[in-house]
Structures are given as C-alpha cells and as structure tokens.
Amino acid sequence: MNKTTLVLGASLNPNRYANIAIKRLIGKDIPVLAIGLREGKVFDVTIDTKKKNVYKC
C-alpha cells in the first residue's frame, strides 16, 4: 500500500529542496500532494495554494 506524501512549501524553483523532493518522490512512484505559495506544476504534480480535505480511511 502506497501512502501519499504531502510536500508543504512546494516551489517551482528547481534549486529549492521541496522541488527536488517532489522529483525524487515521483521518480520512486510515490504519490505526492504539494502545497505552496504559488500555483504551478512540478512534473505532473500540481502545486495548490489552499489545503484540501483529502483525508482517507
């Protein structure tokens, strides 16, 4: 069972650690949710600016 990883402080800047972390997680086929100050995409992961209710049992 794969768990989804939340990246807070996601950035479009490729030099930022959050951006590097998203790329590494996607490279290992780990599902990722990203929240940051600005909307955008890192690979196929959309960076949202507001939290969502994504609680799963």
- State the pLDDT at residue 37: 92
Q: What's the pLDDT score for residue 50?
A: 81
Helix (H) or strand (E) holding 18, with range, is: helix 17-27
The two most distant CA atoms of the chain are separated, in Å, by: 35
Dist CA 45 CA 16 (whole Å): 16
Instruction: Domains for the chain: give ranges and CATH numbers.
Output: 5-48 (3.40.50.720)
What does pLDDT average to in each consecutive run of 10 residues of the chain (57 residues)?
Answer: 87 94 94 93 90 62
Query: What predicted TM-score, i.e. pTM, was given to this entire model?
Result: 0.81
